[in-house]
Structures are given as structure tokens and as C-alpha cells.
Structure 1
Amino acid sequence: MLATAWALVTGLAVVAVTVIALAHLALRGSAPAERACLLRALSTVFRALADVVRALRGGT
């Protein structure tokens, strides 16, 4: 079970880094209104990732 949990956490970390890299590229040339929309979307993504991590911690 521990090996499976580490694999899931590593996968989530890779997803988080990928999202950050894509957000950085998207924010570089965007207008302020687009930035606000993108940042709200990123907030939703990171809250979902946090919920998954909390579920994993609570389940083990």
C-alpha cells in the first residue's frame, strides 16, 4: 500500500509542476482579465489536488 501511495503522490507532484509550467507560459503574454480567469482556474485545480492528497492521507 505504501508503494502505491508514493506512486500516487509522485504522480500528483508531476501534475502540479506541469500545471505551474503551463500557467507560467500562459500568463506571460496575457491581458489582466485573462490572467484573473486563469488564476481562478488554477486555484480550482490546486484545491482539487489538495483534496486528493487529503483523501490519501485520511485513507491510510
Structure 2
Amino acid sequence: MLGTAWVLVAGLAVVAVTVVAVAHLALRGSAPAERARLLRALSAVFRALADVVRALRGGA
């Protein structure tokens, strides 16, 4: 599993970069309330990605 885990981690990194790019585009012209909601959603996405990486590393 460790030999192929880097492929999954690289894929997660691509997802993270894509999410950041889309968030940047969404935040440019949004109202403060919309920004707060989007940033909370982004936080949840990045926490989920971090949980996946921790699970791959075997940590809790």
C-alpha cells in the first residue's frame, strides 16, 4: 500500500489546489456572508482531506 499511497496523496493535492482555485474565483465578488459560508465549507473539505492522509499514514 505504501508504494501506491503517494499516487493517492498526489491526487488529493491536486484536489486541494483545484478547491483553492475555485474558492478564489468564488470569493472575489461575494458578499461577506457568502464568504463566511464558503470558508466554513472549505474548512470542512480540507479537514476531510487531512483525515484521509492521516488514515493513509496509519495515525489517528
**What is the TM-score when the length of structure 1 is the normalising length?**
0.93
TM-score normalised to the size of structure 2? 0.93
Q: How does 1:1-60 map to 2 (within 5 A)?
A: 1-58=1-58
Q: Could you list the per-position Cα deviations for residues 3-58 of structure 1 after superposition, in whole angstroms to 9, with x for gaps in the alignment?
A: 31010000000000000000000000000000000000000000000000000000
Q: List structure 1 runs of 4+ shifted beyond 6 angstroms.
A: none
- Segments of 5+ residues of structure 1 without an aligned counterpart are none
Please, which runs of 5 or more residues in structure 2 have no aligned partner? none
**Number of positions where the alignment pairs a residue of Structure 1 with one of Structure 2:** 59
CA distance in 1, matches of 2:5, 2:25: 30
Superposition CA RMSD, Å: 1.1
What is the distance in 2 between the residues matched to 1:37 and 1:2?
A: 36
| % identical aligned pairs | 88
